[in-house]
Structure 1
Amino acid sequence: MKSSKSEKIVIGTIRVHPRGFGFVEPEDRSIEQIFIPPFLLGGAVEGDVVEILVSEKPNEKGPEGKVCHIIKRGRSHIAGTITHLIGKKKALAYTPLLGTRTPVTVNSTSSLKPGDRVVIHVTSWTSKGEGPKGKIMRVLGSISDPSVDLIACIEEYNLPDSFELQAIEEANALGISVSENECQNRKDLRNLVCMTIDPETAKDFDDALSITKDKTGIYHLGVHIADVSHYVKRDSFLDKEARERCNSIYFPGVCIPMLPEALSNELCSLKPKVDRLAVSVLMKLSSDGKILDYEIVRSVIHSRKRFSYEEAKLVLDRKKKSPYFKHLKLFVELCRLLKKERYQRGSIEFALPDVQILVDEKGKPEGLKLVEYDITHQLVEEFMLKTNEIVATHLSKMGKPLTYRIHDEPSVENLKEFAYLASLFGFKVSEIPTMEELQTLFDQARGSPHGQFLATSFIRSMKLASYSCENIGHYGLMLDHYTHFTSPIRRYIDLIVHRVLFNDNGHNLEEIAFKCSEQERLSAKAENSMIRLKKLRLLLKRQKETPRQPWKATVTTVKPMGFAFELDELLIEGFIHVSKIGRDFYTFNEKKKSLIGSHFHEVFTSGDSIIVTLKGVNLITGEAHFELAKCS
């Protein structure tokens, strides 16, 4: 295919966003990813290897292109849900991979019903203008059954659902405890008062903490990380499984681990009251939180206490007694010093609460739990950030090859758009705001009705962090050197960094960095898909309990055709078409990014608080339909 002088041909793998557009990761890693608009996908789906025509016309958001040829399909099996029966021999299936506009025609049986979730072998993607065709390989269950959500998600995203027998046998052969022989040639830190602070339901404890403060005001902080590399040797069956998975995946109530539970929840996990092998980063910090010295050693530790975030907060608030109160107070003291240092260099903290979905043993959602980003979460995060920074800087100074955690700065256009959005709420920043201005803005907005909306909007405008052997720094943290080291039980990159640290070299780091970045994004898509489905089930439950329940929501984006919004409680997105607003004829003001009524002059703009009611939920397509009740 010939291309014009302003275009070039690139080959790469396409990743398709749920909203319909895609990004191509070129095979040539020196080329940045290329945006593909929805109408230029050319029939390509997630994971396909494609040939694209890239326009080299200037674009502030980066290069764009169109798919001109599908070289290789990424998969032959896809998951879907039956929507219609066509006679006795055929049916139509909706598949998240292809979307609502491209149903798959499949074979039918007498027992097949609309709502059945199925695994389809695609026999033909397109033929003579017809859509995809396939054969049903397996019926998983009904869309109405939440216990099927996990296996359906595994099939949809092609996730691992079990470990190879050889990997299980390797894990079991490692035993259940640490022997004294294994403690040889390690720094014995069993006398240190170590503790873990994790979510209530956690079982894989990657990190433990210890702290003292001497008479001169110097802090002695120990961050002790599970020594997974001691057990998972390069090219072993365990290593091959971990390298294929790249990370653990967390769904409401269940986890798909990177390592078998004999390691992830037992031998590697830094459980209390037992000896465990670790890699310890022992830091000395001044009275104002500056690093004076550090040591990185292989160690053996003995955790004294397993704190949940909730219990640690109760102890700090003096609502519960604990012999470790003074340790927790020192953690908080040092945490605040590190936060101050981080703010001074321009790093941003959003401090957003987390909304967790509570499910029963069958996967049925029962409610929500709001987890505040309180000081117990902050201190763990600050210590992990500092540890990752120290390890990255240490390895970089030694000239060792390293997989960095990098984060590019947002585009000028995105910064301008956010600055304008902030101005709509009375926050004044420069046209292209600095990190210092942004942090001031988020500090001022925190706790306000629009604080979470502004923080979420900025996060969405930023580029994704990724792994790379080429260090460009970390924009969000404002660091020159950063890596991931502190979670080797659940992230393969961290395991690799541990190996590099102790001279186990020779890995293809570029390939590992690329694969881990890709798998991280896939895992996030799977997690978000599952979370949305559970939220929709909860929405249906609420509707049955309280029909016509009003929901508070915040307008997120305004377009000529209507506006998108997000429910304040469930964080589910919805859309109101301009024709459904009612009462008036609305026109779009491009400059103000607002819809304005011609007669009553009612205005809808980003950040507005509205009230909506639920019209219906389609569990198959993952859509919720709302109507506008009133403005608040």
Structure 2
Amino acid sequence: MLKTKTFVKKTRRGNVMKIVRENYLRDDVWCGITDCQLCPQTAAVLNAKTTSSSSKFHFSHFLVPDTNIALHQIDILEDPAITNVILVQTVLNEIKHLNASVHKRIRDIVSTPEKCFYVFSNEHCRDTFIEREKEESSNDRNDRAIRATCRWYDRHIAKGFANDKLSKSCRVVLLTNDFANRTKADKENLLSCSVQEYINSLENNGELLDKLAVDSTYNSGDLTVETSRSFLYMEHLPLAKLQLGLKCEKYLQGKFSASRDNYLEAKVSLHDKNEQIFVQGIMNINRAVNEDIVCVEILPKESWTAPSSIVVDEEDADESEESTTEQVKVEKKEKTEKCGRVVGIIRRNWRPYCGVLSLSSNPQARKHLFVAADKRIPRIRIETRQAESLKGQKIVVNIDSWPRNSKYPVGHYVKKLGAIGDKETENELLLLEHEIPHLPFSTVVLNDLPAGDWKICDEEIKKRRDLRDIPICSVDPPGCTDIDDALHCRLLPNGNYEVGVHIADVTFFIHPGSAIDKEAMNRGTTVYLTDRRIDMVPELLSSNLCSLKSNVDRLAFSCVWEMTSEAQIVNTEFFKSIICSKHSFTYAEAQLRIDDKAQNDSVTQSLRTLNDIAKILKQKRIDNGALTLSSPEIRFQIDNETYDPIDVETKQLRETNSLVEEFMLLANISVAKKIFNHYSEYAVLRRHPAPPLSNYDCLIKAAGSKNLNIQVDSAKSLAVSLEKATLPDFPYFNTLLRILTTRCMMQAVYFCSGTLPEEDYLHYGLAAPIYTHFTSPIRRYSDILVHRLLAVTIGAIPSFPEMFNKKNTQEMCNLLNKRHHMAQLASRSSVDLHTQLFFKDRVSIEEAFVLFVRRNALQVLIPKYGVEGNIFLRETTSRSKFNEEEMSITIGDVTFKVFSKIRVQIKVDTSASKNRFVNIMLMDPYVPGLSVDEIDDASSVNSLQPELKTTNCLMNENDKGCICHFNPGLLTESTSPQIQSIIDIS
């Protein structure tokens, strides 16, 4: 049966468009119940022994959730106790439109046989399809469609199991929190209840009740109901008013980014504008949570201010919140920023949050505060009946709502991860917190892989240029198995050099639209943790068939230049090839080969020539204004059995690091030019925006404290200034200055060339007018996209429709930007975790440097371990003198400035029940001639240096030192595992 509906729709441009919708209705849609005597599909399902259908009368009832229940109570539906659920197609369609994440979770539940979830196609069933009535809202129509499905199931069960005694007692239960919907269901003689009533009817329901999300659509006297109690926040404007305000530019829309240093401050990055609005104070923040899309109203100019010089930790904010707020208010700033207040929320971007439970002082209380591991997330009030068992545990919590009369958002408990400080628990937490897809590859994905004994066929060899006789080699970090690049160099008869970069041809195995392609796109990048690697593609490809290991034939995509000895490019070629690497070097091994004059084989000579050319290429880049920045890089030695860190060392950079780096950069630039010249609207490129000049304020002040001038008007002048900024008696100074410069940089991002003007393509850090990623397709999906574009450009493969869709390409770039950034943060957090594990049974006193001076804290770096953190000056008094312009603070007779050298003690507080449990205590300012071995504890410092006893005013009375919470958020942007010295190459 065919249903046709015709209507007209007005477009954004004011045109009228006629739309015809056709709906094919059937009378043979299966109910999904095993043994049903009416449905013809039953016999086929039983013959196939399918177990994914709903079990017959398992609880003597079936559950039919409405859209709000499926959307807001997904944690309940995922619980093993909830089975035999009929999901109506109407509900699934609504959720797909409202929340893609929840829709995916529901599809995962449906594919789990033991859950017995079944999707019923009511919109295609003749007996359950209903038309929308005149003046009926779409929401009312959908509710009516769900009730119609419930009625059909009641009748169907009665007929389909007429001889079954249970059929008389079996009912379909409509789960809804909508009072009006329940009232109509009662009139239609349908069985319905709220989700809380249903859970209350189950035995051993304590954990289920904890997972119950607070649904504002159900007026049950819970926390979200806005009573007559006085409101704490301004009401959010409705969407219609926000849209009108945006249109007339009364309001501005942007992404809300909370500050890591002060939860009372945030910035809103405006959409389609390179501008940020500063928001300060809980009233102006108005219940916005990090990453929400919000509308802001610009405040009058006399109300503008600037970020405060106070570090406020939400985790410890209870005792000092009011005084801190007042301190922030009274700070007077000479320079102000454009300020605003949040007037409405366009889209919430809430996600599951990991952290710890802060128990109420009342032992009988059920309501407690949850403290997220992410410092930018406010504390969340939850209700739980298992508070004692959750003490000392890392847990996951979801936010449900944030009422105007509640100081904190209201949420619910989801699950327990494990004990605080446990390695596996903390690893799981950092993966969840950074939204890293880390489940094993599904069977569908693995089915796309070639056989394990796959060999390159003769037909494929004929299509490619055979380079197996060329002295090609790879240079990678120790233990690297996913080798995606190799190089060669050989002398040509005309005196020039042939230089080649050969990249694993991953796209030969991964085709557009395949299951493995979709999975790789969703993962976006391989994530490198300290003790493990989470692959973007299955190991058969990443460490075997695609990896350019030595002495085996491999498929490659080659970029080959003809160069002069002065690194002038005469010609560039791109082609598919087959190679056989002659040697897989580590950086150290390659350096030894270059330095060993006794070695003169073809591979060694190739390395030496590559090294000479790389030095010229690097100098050219630096002359053009490329930045060489720095970040603290350490490497852990891991125990082979326990995988715990047993020693730590600073990573050493050799010439061979720079050798690989230079040719990878050159290949990326060459490929970027090639694909852009052919497809100027559809090229996948990478840009690094120039930072606003205001970003350099802290750098200029820091250099000024040493009477040095840093020019920041261009990348070239900045690079020259950094090169000159040295102090003979302070060798580490230039490194510290480059670390500070890293803080000023913007994030590099992928984009589709057709979405931006060409002048915005610049990669600021590399001083390259155009750039992309081509050299790491095993571990970056962006490179796969570029490989496909390049292959079409040179005629290696035919074009495909997806590559000419700018909107789709930009959406993929947005996802890749997120995945790339989260992978960096996860890698950083893994280093943090292993630093904590390393200090679990040891105490160390080390040299540290002050990076930033704040009114109530010192931000310090411990170079030996790459550790950064805040030392809170908890007992500053009227004797404290803070000079923001000079970036210094004087307490008593001791002055701390940027780059001041101090001594700190690092240890683990195993009794802590907080997210961060590494403590750093200030021992003393640095005194020349005082060795680490002479200092055993805080008391020895005072006995050795009596003139420094005034530093006791900094110390916490209980700990005899300033507490420094180890702060992952302060760590610099990490670079790729292979490239360490250039900002944001990976």
Please say whether Structure 1 and Structure 2 have the same fold, judged by a TM-score greater than 0.5: yes
State the Cα distance separating 1:133 from its structure 2 match.
4.4
1:70 aligns with 2:370: no
Q: What is the alpha-carbon distance in structure 1 between the residues aligned to residue 452 and residue 902 of structure 2?
A: 57
- Cα pair distance change 1:43/1:265, threshold 3 Å: farther
The partner residue of 2:557 within 279, 290, 294 is 279
Q: Which residue of 485, 488, 502 maps to 1:210?
A: 488
2:738 match: 455
Q: What is the 5 A alignment of 1:247-266?
A: 247-266=525-544
- How far did residue 215 of structure 1 move? 5.6
2:635 to 347, 352, 356: 356
Would you say the 8 A contact 2:556–2:579 is kept in 1?
Answer: yes
- Deviation by residue 1:152-179 (Cα, 9 ceiling, x = unmatched): 2222223212223211111245864322
| Other-structure match for 1:366 | 646
Instruction: Flag the 1:413–1:50 CA change in 2: closer, same or farther, 3 A.
Output: closer
**Residue number in structure 1 paired with 2:31:** none
Q: What runs of 5+ residues in structure 2 fail to find an aligned partner?
A: 1-236, 307-334, 793-798, 927-986
Q: Which residue of 2 aligns with 1:585?
A: 879
Inter-partner Cα distance in structure 2 for 1:579 and 1:256: 41
Q: Give 2:904's aligned amino acid.
A: V
Q: Select the structure of larger CA radius of gyration.
A: 2
- 1:532 is displaced (CA, Å) by 1.9
Determine the structure 1 residue equivalent to 2:749: 466
What TM-score do the two structures reach when normalised by structure 2? 0.58
Call closer, same or farther: CA 1:100–1:25 in 2, change over 3 Å: closer
Q: 1:31 to 1:429 in 2, by over 3 A?
A: closer
Q: Work out the CA distance in 2 between the residues paired with 1:222 and 1:249.
A: 28
Structure with higher strand content: 1
CA contact (8 A) 2:268 2:279 kept: no
Match of 1:550, SS? strand
For residues 321-363 of structure 1, give each alpha carbon's deviation from its aligned partner in whole angstroms, at most 9, with x where no partner exists: 6843222211211111111211221212236562123444555
Match of 1:190 in 2: 468
Distance 1:150 1:184 in 2: 47
2:618 matched residue in structure 1: 339
In structure 2, relative to structure 1, the CA distance for the partners of 1:593 and 1:79 (3 Å cut) is: closer
TM-score (norm 1): 0.89
Q: Following the alignment from structure 1 to structure 2, what is the Cα–Cα distance between the partners of residues 289 and 119? A: 55
**Corresponding residue SS for 2:519:** helix
Which of residues 518, 526, 533 is equivalent to 1:240? 518
Corresponding pairs, count:
622
Q: Which residue of structure 2 lines up, in the alignment, with residue 51 of structure 1?
A: 295
1:494 partnered with 2:783: yes
Q: 1:23 to 1:527 in 2, by over 3 A?
A: farther
The AA in structure 2 aligned to 1:45 is V
Residue in 2 aligned with 1:576? 871
Instruction: Specify the alignment match of 2:420 in structure 1.
Output: 143
- Deviations 1:199-218, CA, capped at 9 Å, x for gaps: 11221111111111236542
In structure 2, give the amino acid aligned to 1:210. H
**Letter matched to residue 453 of structure 1:** L
Deviation at 1:308, TM superposition (A): 1.2
User: CA 1:562–1:49 in 2, change beyond 3 Å: closer, same or farther?
Assistant: closer
TM-aligned CA deviation for residue 534 of structure 1 = 2.4
* 1:390 to 2:679 alignment: no
- The amino acid of 1:407's aligned partner reads H
Matched-pair contact (CA < 8 Å) for 1:552–1:611: yes
Counterparts in 2 of 1:174-573, with a 5 A limit? 176-214=454-492, 216-318=494-596, 323=601, 324-350=603-629, 354-360=633-639, 362-400=642-680, 401-430=682-711, 432=713, 435-436=716-717, 438-439=719-720, 441-442=722-723, 445=726, 448-468=731-751, 469=753, 470=756, 471=758, 472=760, 473-503=762-792, 504=799, 505-507=803-805, 508-543=808-843, 549-573=844-868
CA contact (8 A) 2:260 2:375 kept: no
Structure 2 distance, partners of 1:537, 1:442, is 37
Indicate whether 1:152 and 2:152 are aligned: no
- Give, in whole Å, the separation in 2 of the partners of 1:33 and 1:612: 39
Aligned partners of 2:559 and 2:724: how far apart in 1? Answer: 31
2:693/2:712 contact within 8 Å kept? no
Over 3 Å counting, the alpha-carbon distance change for 1:4 and 1:386 in structure 2 is: closer
- The alpha-carbon deviation at position 474 of structure 1 amounts to 1.1
Inter-partner Cα distance in structure 1 for 2:535 and 2:257: 24
Matched to 1:117, the amino acid is K
**Deviation for aligned residue 1:284:** 1.1
Question: Structure 1 residues 88 and 594 mapped into 2: Cα distance closer, same or farther (>3 Å)?
Answer: closer
Measure, in 2, the Cα distance between the counterparts of 1:4 and 1:245: 35
Helix, strand or coil at the partner of 1:541:
coil
Match of 2:326 in 1: none
CA contact (8 A) 1:7 1:53 kept: no
2:255 touches 2:268 (CA, 8 Å); kept in 1? yes
Deviation at 1:520, TM superposition (A): 1.7
Task: State how far apart, in whole Å, the 1-side matches of 2:342 and 2:379 are.
Answer: 17
| Other-structure match for 1:546 | none
CA contact (8 A) 1:146 1:362 kept: no
Query: What percentage of residue pairs aligned between the two structures are identical?
Result: 26
C-alpha RMSD of the superposition: 3.3
The farther-off stretch of 209-218 and 98-107 is 98-107
Q: 1:49 to 1:5 in 2, by over 3 A?
A: closer
Structure 2 residue 352 is matched with structure 1 residue 82: no
* Larger fraction in helix: 2
The equivalent of 2:273 in structure 1 is: 31
Whole-angstrom CA distance in 2 between matches of 1:441 and 1:501: 37
Measure, in 2, the Cα distance between the counterparts of 1:628 and 1:204: 42
CA distance in 2, matches of 1:268, 1:630: 53
* 1:422 to 1:177, Cα distance in 2 relative to 1, 3 A: farther
Residues 213 and 351 (structure 1), Cα distance of their counterparts in 2 relative to 1, 3 Å cut: farther
Shift of 1:295: 0.2
Cα distance in 2 for residues equivalent to 1:62 and 1:292: 50
Distance 1:62 1:478, change over 3 A: farther
Q: Greater RCO between the two (CA within 8 Å, min separation 6)?
A: 1
Q: What's the offset of the Cα at 1:131?
A: 3.3
Q: Deviations over 1:372-414 (max 9, x none)?
A: 2211111000000000111111222334421221112122223
> Following the alignment from structure 1 to structure 2, what is the Cα–Cα distance between the partners of residues 100 and 416?
27
| Contact persistence 2:722–2:738 (CA under 8 A) | no
Q: Deviations over 1:40-76 (max 9, x none)?
A: 4433334434333356979999876543333443345
CA contact (8 A) 2:650 2:864 kept: no
Q: For 2:549 and 2:513, locate their aligned partners in 1 and report how far apart those are by CA, in whole Å.
A: 27
Structure 1 window deviating more from structure 2 (146-155 vs 349-358): it is: 349-358
Q: Distance in 1 between matches of 2:922 and 2:429?
A: 33
